[in-house]
Amino acid sequence: MNLIVALLVVALCLTLCSVLLLLVLMLRGVRFSLPGISASAIWPSRVERPTLEDADYNGQLQKFVRQQLSQGVSAACLLDSVADVVALIRKGERVPGPEDGREGVSDLLPGLVSTDFSMLRARGCLGILDNSGVTRIDLVEHPPDEVLPEAELFTWKTVSKAKLIKEGKVKTAKAERLTLLTTSCCPSPFILRYLGCCQTPRYLRFRMEGFAASLHHIYQRDRLYGSEPHARYYMASVVCALQHLHNLHIVLRCVKPEDCVLTFQGKLQLFDFHFSKIIVNKTWTTCGTPEYFAPEVVGMAGHSFDYDWWIVGIMMYELFAEASPFAEPNMMDTYRRITKCQYTFPKSVPSSARNVIRKLLVKNPSKRAPGGAKSLAKQSFFRPVSAPKDTWDCLRKMEPPFTPSYADGPFTDIQKASDEDLAECWGAQTGSEDPPPVQDEWEQFGPIGPHDEFP
């Protein structure tokens, strides 16, 4: 007992000494700073104690992108101007603003589509995009017209306004539209084409190209887990898509097999951007799929584009092992393993793939695939799709390892949500509910259409 008391007294004395030392150092003006964890997380050195207005670097860039898109700039011009403005922000210099101090540039964003649904035909709902039931994926057939010589299927993302408000995700929908419009201005063959948006009394709707199948659905149905040719082709496509987004200063923060779709030619394209954000260097919002969180996200230390490369490592592991490398029944155990970067490889992961994953699942973000897509192209695992010059140019010309047949298309084989699932996750028809309150954010989605549902 005396020994325990003595130990407690010693611990208390050490604690008091530490507190006194901290107070002395603070009074002498000594500053404490955390070491930089990423080369991409460098801030303007001139701002030591930034005001809220000065510190909103991401907001300044987003405002500039909205301005450029509203003026209908070309893809090359947008890429160059974004790079120039990021350089100005990093130097702490003034960012060019709207002429004559004009505000509300977001209201002038292009890309609004008609809310006349009378000629459209609903072909079923693929399901709910997230667990909170905010977003629904509808398949809609468009009749032939002067633009479309034949009837064509499009994907419509239907977002509940009421649930956006309830979940506090109104700004998320606004950011997603900005990302989609940016990728529409600067398209990539690895990103599903965005075709515009509109709103009805209760919904926001994003119109996108149709697709043949979900990558997750094909992997589950055909048991493709462990197939090296499939994983190589699909992960190379993801890498190219992310590099394109990063060139536009867009961080995705969520990419899983469920977020990727296959075209009717079998090409992989990214589909979901509801966690995306245009940033200069770094952001602090904790979001994404918990099992895919990077250590800096778990530690709430802020994250940058390096977060996306960590996610690539998780997805690549999953395509071979059919499970996340850090998954545990208890989420706190999952976070603990993530922060320690503690994982093992099953036999289904080949050695060449392990080398890539080890370069991606690195605790220090600055050492995580430095050089991005360019450095990954040099890995032996990707050599068949990046040779002979360690670039990804040949990937666009390659035949995909799997081409969906018509039976894989949305009219037949694609798994659609049942009425019971929709009632549970999405809720019953909203005809008896009051419309959600009008918010200023809705205005950028155009005039409110008369009908909520497709015929």
Q: Are 167 and 94 in contact (CB under 8 A)?
A: no
Residues 379 and 355 sit within 8 Å (Cβ to Cβ): yes
Do 185 and 260 sit in the same domain of this protein? no
pLDDT tops 90 at residue 340: yes
The answer to whether residues 353 and 231 touch, using CB atoms and an 8 Å cutoff, is yes
pLDDT score of 282 more than 50: yes
Strands 250-251 and 121-128: unpaired
Per-residue pLDDT of 30-72, as tens digits, reads 222 222 223 233 333 333 333 334 458 899 999 999 999 998 8
Which helix (H) or strand (E) element contains residue 208? strand 203-209
Task: Answer yes or no: are the C-beta atoms of 239 and 252 closer than 8 Å.
Answer: no
CATH number of 132's domain: 3.30.200.20
**E strand or H helix at 241:** helix 228-247
Average pLDDT over residues 170-188: 94
- Would you say 184 and 177 are in contact if contact means Cβ atoms under 8 Å apart? no
> Is 355 inside a domain boundary?
yes
Whether 285 is in a domain gets the answer yes
Instruction: Give domain status of residue 369, yes or no.
Output: yes
Question: Is residue 243 domain-shared with residue 360, that is, in the same domain?
Answer: yes
136 and 241 co-located in one domain: no
CA distance 228 to 319: 9
User: Residue 192's pLDDT band (boundaries 50, 70, 90)?
Assistant: very high
209: burial class by Cβ within 10 Å (0-12, 13-18, 19+)? Answer: middle
State how far the Cα of 75 lies from the Cα of 72, in Å rounded to an integer: 9
Beta bridge pairs of residue 278: 250
b or e along 434-444 (b: 16 or more beta carbons within 10 Å of the residue's beta carbon)?
A: eebeeeebbeb
Q: Are 322 and 225 in contact (CB under 8 A)?
A: yes
444 pLDDT exceeds 70?
yes
- Interhelix angle for 57-70 vs 75-91, to 10°? 150
Q: What is the predicted pLDDT for the residue at 133?
A: 57
DSSP single-letter state for residue 167: H
Closest alpha carbon to 251 in 225, 270, 277: 277
Average pLDDT, integer, range 262-273: 92
Band (268; pLDDT cuts 50, 70, 90): very high
Phi and psi at 154, nearest 5°, equal -125, 160
What is the per-residue DSSP string for 264-305? TT--EEE---TT-EE-SS-B----S-GGG--HHHHTTS-B-T
Bridge partner residues of 209 (DSSP): 154
In-domain check, residue 225: yes
**DSSP secondary structure code for residue 191 in this structure:** B
Nearest-Å Rg of the Cα atoms of the chain is: 24
Choose from 91-105, 278-292, 391-405 the range with maximum mean pLDDT: 278-292
Angstrom distances, CA of residue 304 to CA of 37, 282, 329, 361, 404: 10, 5, 28, 15, 35
Q: Residue 455, class by beta-carbon neighbours within 10 Å (0-12 exposed, 13-18 middle, 19+ buried)? A: exposed
pLDDT at 442: 86
Is residue 170 scored above 50 in pLDDT? yes
Cβ-contact 332, 310 below 8 angstroms: no
pLDDT reported for residue 93: 83
Asked if residue 6 is part of any domain, the answer here is no
| Per-residue CA distances from 341 to 59, 362, 364 (Å) | 32, 7, 10
**pLDDT tens digits along 12-27:** 665 555 544 433 333 3
Q: Is a pLDDT exceeding 90 seen at residue 264?
A: no
HSE (side-chain half, CA atoms, 13 Å) at 404: 26
In a domain, 174, yes or no: yes
Are residues 204 and 221 located together in one domain of the fold? no
Of residues 285 and 148, more confidence is placed in 285
Query: Would you say residue 296 has pLDDT above 80?
Result: yes
Q: How many domains does the chain have?
A: 3
**Single-letter amino acid, residue 112:** L
Considering the domain architecture, whether residues 357 and 335 belong to the same structural domain is answered as: yes
Q: What is the mean pLDDT of residues 243-247?
A: 96
Residues 220 and 206 in one domain: no
Q: What type of residue sits at position 299?
A: G
Residues 242, 204 share a domain: no
- Structural domain containing residue 93: 55-98
pLDDT at 349 over 50: yes
Q: Same domain, yes or no, for 204 and 217? A: no
Among candidate residues 334, 210, 262, 250, the one with its CA nearest the CA of residue 65: 250
Average pLDDT, the chain: 80
H or E element at residue 135: strand 135-142
373 and 225 part of one domain: yes
Give the containing element (helix H, strand E) for 416: none
Q: Is there a domain that residue 50 lies in?
A: no
Are 174 and 439 contacting, i.e. CB atoms less than 8 angstroms apart? no
Confidence at residue 394, expressed as pLDDT on a 0 to 100 scale: 87
Say yes or no to pLDDT of 388 above 90.
Answer: no
- Helical ranges in 71-118 per DSSP H: 75-91
CB 297 within 8 A of CB 288: yes
Determine the residue type at 150. Answer: E
- Clarify whether residues 178 and 254 are in a common domain: no
Q: Do 263 and 297 sit in the same domain of this protein?
A: yes
pLDDT at 437 over 80: no
Last residue of a domain, one of 64, 98, 132: 98
Asked whether residue 453 is assigned to any structural domain, the reply reads no
Please indicate, yes or no, whether residues 291 and 319 belong to a single structural domain of this protein.
yes
Q: Is the pLDDT of residue 430 over 60?
A: no
| H-type alpha helices, 265-409 | 295-298, 306-321, 331-340, 351-360, 373-376, 383-386
Q: Write the pLDDT tens digit of every residue in 78-113.
A: 999 999 999 999 888 888 765 544 444 444 688 899
The residue ranges of DSSP E strands in 390-435, in sequence order, are: none
Residue pair 415/217 in contact by the 8 Å Cβ criterion: yes
What's the whole-number mean pLDDT along residues 262-269?
91
- CATH code, 387: 1.10.510.10
